[in-house]
Chains A and B, each alone.
Chain A
């Protein structure tokens, strides 16, 4: 037996199940705001993901036991289910999950090999294929009714384009105390879950802090220069998938940069791209595209951010 003879005993499944546990507050808030819909979506996504994983492993002639038990595919499924609107037809989620697992993950070689965040691959494919369904959010309850309305990010994008001022836009529906109505609570729940993961050292601080800073700093600067055209940092942090993205999506280690410095740049890039897409892009929220774009930059970041080895001259 080669050394070392002892191990700490952290395992990938344990990591994945703690991530799932940290997502429970987000799910709870969504259920509170939108009714039982999100529960159904999570169930549909999980079943689909497990089935796709089993299928992919069978096609690749791999043992399916440990891979099914490692929980990574469930994290993909739950993240996707929590990112889509609660009223999304279930078969669309089945399609999105299948894309995420089969193409986003297994086409590249499965766990550890995928260059793109699988959940965001599924989300992006759904968003460009079914833009209407993917942007129809119900008005947050309770009471839960099937009415859908514009989300705050939609309203700002459309309203400003139509020549309304920020005050006029923000007086309309869809706004909450600081961010988007409802979404601000979801973001708060994601922040809580993320803080717990940080405290348990399941994730490390570099990516979330850099991403939130990358989003908040340009937002604050732009807001300072022209408050009528740009909402402030707090609004951005409390809207859309900001917190879910920072703590749960961008932190997927497989598709993220791998050195500490690389992760700071990677996270900051996601935050900045999210803000750019939200401010000037055609889609209301930009987290998914920002993550995928920065996934593309990872090989370059990994190459350029190799830390100094002990004994090498200081740079």
Chain B
């Protein structure tokens, strides 16, 4: 099957993926000190449940999930040194710091899972306890997503192998090498969410991954599984766009894919599920692409969550002296986040470390006024008019911002990429959203204050009324009583 609807807009970009894919994924040794960020990329921190000084083993839960944060487990055996703020991918955040004793003792609970005997709810419980989270970048808890899908009665499990952003190729490497794991994970997740079929979607520029997946699907002999090819257009891997490309259904504004009968999971997450059922291992590692002209030997590494990325870069031969890095980016060149330091640890959401040399980053010219050329609208994958939205955002025009769809922007960066006036549109939209959130909070506070004041007034009025009535009553009674005296 091929894609139903082709994306509107989007960019065909140079992929920059060949060098890391020239060699197989290399396993990195466990770190001597593991730094586990409580926020693994979803924007919410898990709750640390180990005190400093506690002894942990490989697989011991160290933080309990809540909301958008999954459970977190120790990748090493050793002692908790501290629970303290550290630089992280997101800037800074609380981390559980564990000194390894080098013995890598495993939790005794690590046993294969007889998944075929478990029902959906029990499976989801196991996935939650294993701390599985979306490895595509958002790091949303897999169990939460599947539970939502189960409740909504989704029909399709969509495995996202569309790795459309330049430089990132960890999923491509995984699909080439661990296709059978992905297929097994897909079958387990089908059982967990109750969907009727699973589709693994990837782009047509990954023939090796496609062949491996098709072989694995054939081997599994499960008729509910199929592999779908999509055009290699950025940002087709974005969840909502992928759903539309594969099913032709658009997720309504403000809703999630289960609304249209689909649940999305990253292929890496599926492989993690397979590792849980075959070896009983929680989410302890992930594949990270370390690439860019600023690193000597770009490659894909299977790294333990909590490993400082300095160790990843060292494993790739270190920084290239001839092309010194000018910027470290967590993620790809379009949507990645600039890192302030190379000491930050690997998280479940970290798919790529782009060690960018000057040659990788074309210089931005100085910003000029918008000439309304509309190149941005031509590439916007969600059909916005960024030129109009920008005007509305800059004017802080709430009606315009709503009409031109600030809430619908997926921050893919396509408009920035093509803008001849070098306007940082994506950053402006992000700032606009932040402003909107503040306005919203302000409004909410104002409304609460108003409600409080009105309650207060009502209470005072009622009190005054009651007093007045009591007074009247008393006077009436006094008059009545006193009438006989006169």
Give the B-binding residues of A (Cβ under 8 A): 1-12, 14-15, 66, 70, 72, 110-113, 204, 253-254, 256, 258-260, 263, 302, 306-313
Distance between Cα atoms of A260 and B405 in the complex (Å): 17
Q: A4-B335, A204-B374 are in contact. Are A307 and B383 (CB under 8 A)?
A: yes
12 CB < 8 A contacts A-B: A3-B331, A3-B426, A4-B417, A5-B361, A7-B418, A10-B375, A10-B418, A15-B373, A72-B371, A307-B377, A307-B383, A311-B250
Residue of B nearest to A203 (CB): B373
Which residue on B lies nearest to A314, using beta carbons? B250
Tell me the minimal C-beta distance from A20 to chain B in angstroms. 15
Contact B377 A260 (CB under 8 A): yes
Query: Is the CB–CB distance between B371 and A258 below 8 Å?
Result: no
Instruction: Evaluate contact between A309 and B382: CB separation under 8 angstroms.
Output: yes
Least distance between A276 CB and chain B CB atoms (Å): 27
Q: How far is the CB of B29 from chain A (nearest CB, A)?
A: 30
Bound Cα distance A11, B368 (Å): 9
Chain B 349-365, CB-CB to A under 8 Å as 1, else 0, gives 00000101000111011
Which residue from B404, B405, B422 sits with its C-beta under 8 Å from A11?
A: B422
> With A10-B420, A258-B388 in contact, do A253 and B361 touch (Cβ < 8 Å)?
no
**In whole angstroms, what is the CA distance A97 to B251 when docked?**
52
Partner of B374, one of A10, A258, A309: A258
Complex partner residue of A7 from B241, B362, B374, CB under 8 angstroms: B362
* Minimal beta-carbon separation of A122 from chain B (angstroms): 19
Q: How many A-B residue pairs have CB under 8 A?
A: 138
**Least Cβ distance of B422 to chain A in Å?**
7
Query: Lowest 7 CB-CB distances: which A-B pairs, in order?
Result: A4-B413, A112-B369, A310-B382, A2-B427, A253-B373, A4-B334, A311-B253
Cβ of B418: which chain A residues have Cβ within 8 Å of it?
Answer: 7-8, 10
Decide yes or no: A111 and B420 within 8 Å by CB, A3-B336, A6-B334, A204-B378 being known contacts.
Answer: no
The one of B354, B368, B371, B430 in contact with A66, judged by C-beta atoms closer than 8 angstroms, is B368
> Does residue B117 face the partner (Cβ distance < 8 Å to A)?
no
Which residue from chain B places its CB closest to the CB of A4 in the assembled complex?
B413
Q: Which residue of A lies closest to B427 (CB)?
A: A2
Q: What is B's interface to A at a CB cutoff of 8 Å?
A: 166, 240-241, 244, 250-253, 255, 327, 329, 331, 333-338, 354, 356, 360-362, 364-366, 368-375, 377-378, 381-385, 387-388, 403-405, 408, 411, 413, 416-422, 424, 426-427, 430
Q: A5-B336, A10-B420, A253-B371 are in contact. Are A310 and B250 (CB under 8 A)?
A: yes
Q: Is the CB of A311 within 8 A of B251?
A: yes
Q: Give the shortest distance, in Å, between A65 (CB) and chain B (any CB).
A: 10
CB atoms of B377 and A2 under 8 A apart? no
Given contacts A4-B335, A6-B417, A11-B365, 16 further A-B contacts (CB under 8 A): A2-B426, A2-B427, A3-B426, A4-B413, A7-B416, A7-B419, A12-B420, A14-B420, A72-B371, A112-B371, A253-B371, A253-B372, A259-B374, A310-B244, A310-B408, A311-B251
Q: Are B408 and A309 in contact (CB under 8 A)?
A: yes
* A306 and B365 form a contact (CB under 8 A): no
* Complex CA–CA separation, A72 to B370 (angstroms): 12
Question: Contact: A1 with B368, CB < 8 Å?
Answer: no
Residues in A with CB closer than 8 Å to B378 are 204, 260
A70–B251 contact, CB under 8 A? Answer: no
Smallest CB separation, A62 vs chain B (Å): 11
B420 touches A309 (CB 8 A): no
Question: How far, in angstroms, from A110 to B368 measured CA to CA in the complex?
Answer: 11
Chain A residue numbers with a CB within 8 Å of B327 are 1, 5
B424: nearest chain-A partner, CB-CB: A2
C-alpha gap A259/B373 in the complex (Å): 10
Is the Cβ of A253 less than 8 Å from the Cβ of B374?
yes
> Which of chain B's residues have a CB closer than 8 A to the CB of A113?
369
Give the complex CA separation of A70 and B368 in angstroms: 9
Question: Measured between alpha carbons, how far is A307 from B416 in the docked complex, in Å?
Answer: 20
For the complex, give the distance between the alpha carbons of A11 and B423 in Å.
11
The residue that A309 contacts in the complex, of B166, B241, B405, B421, with Cβ under 8 A, is B405
> Are B338 and A111 in contact, CB atoms less than 8 angstroms apart?
no
Q: Which residue of B lies closest to A305 (CB)?
A: B385
Residues of A within 8 A of B387 (CB): 258
Question: Measured between alpha carbons, how far is A278 from B251 in the docked complex, in Å?
Answer: 50
Bound Cα distance A216, B18 (Å): 52
How many angstroms from the CA of A15 to the CA of B373 in the assembled complex? 10
Q: Is the CB of A2 within 8 A of B430?
A: yes
Within the assembled complex, what's the spacing in Å between the Cα atoms of A5 and B356? 9
How far apart sit A256 and B374, CA to CA, in the bound complex (Å)? 10
Contact B333 A309 (CB under 8 A): no
Provide the bound-state CA to CA distance between A6 and B293, in Å. 14
Please report the C-alpha to C-alpha distance between residue A112 and residue B372 in the assembled complex, in whole angstroms.
7
- A3-B336, A3-B337 given as contacts; is B366 within 8 A of A66 (CB)? yes
Q: Name the residue of chain A whose CB is nearest to the CB of B334.
A: A4
Q: Considering the chains assembled together, what is the distance between the CA atoms of A284 and B364 in angstroms? A: 47
A302: chain B residues at CB < 8 Å are 388
- Pairwise interchain contact A308-B335, C-beta atoms closer than 8 A: no
CA distance A14 to B203 in the complex (A): 33
B384 CB contacts on chain A under 8 angstroms: 309
Q: A310-B240, A310-B244, A311-B251 are in contact. Are A5 and B329 (CB under 8 A)?
A: yes
Determine the distance from Cα of A113 to Cα of B421 in the docked complex, in whole angstroms: 14
**Chain A contacts for B382, CB-based, 8 A:** 309-311
Q: Which of A6, A10, A14, A302 counts the most B-chain CB atoms under 10 A from its CB?
A: A6
Distance of B113 from chain A, by nearest CB (Å): 37
A258: which of B362, B385, B421, B430 is its contact (CB, 8 Å)? Answer: B385
Q: How far is the CB of B420 from chain A (nearest CB, A)?
A: 5
- CB of A1 within 8 A of CB of B372, answer no
Cβ-defined contact, A111 with B369, below 8 A: yes
What is the CA–CA distance of A4 and B377 in the complex, to the nearest angstrom? 17
User: Which of A8, A66, A313 has most B Cβ within 10 Å?
Assistant: A8
A2 CA to B338 CA, complexed, in Å: 7
Give chain A residues whose Cβ lies under 8 Å from the Cβ of B426.
2-4
Chain A residues with CB under 8 A of B361: 5-6
Q: With A and B bound together, what is the CA distance between A5 and B332 in angstroms?
A: 9
Chain B: minimal CB distance from A74 (Å)? 14
* B244 CB, nearest partner CB in chain A, Å: 7
Minimal beta-carbon separation of A9 from chain B (angstroms): 5
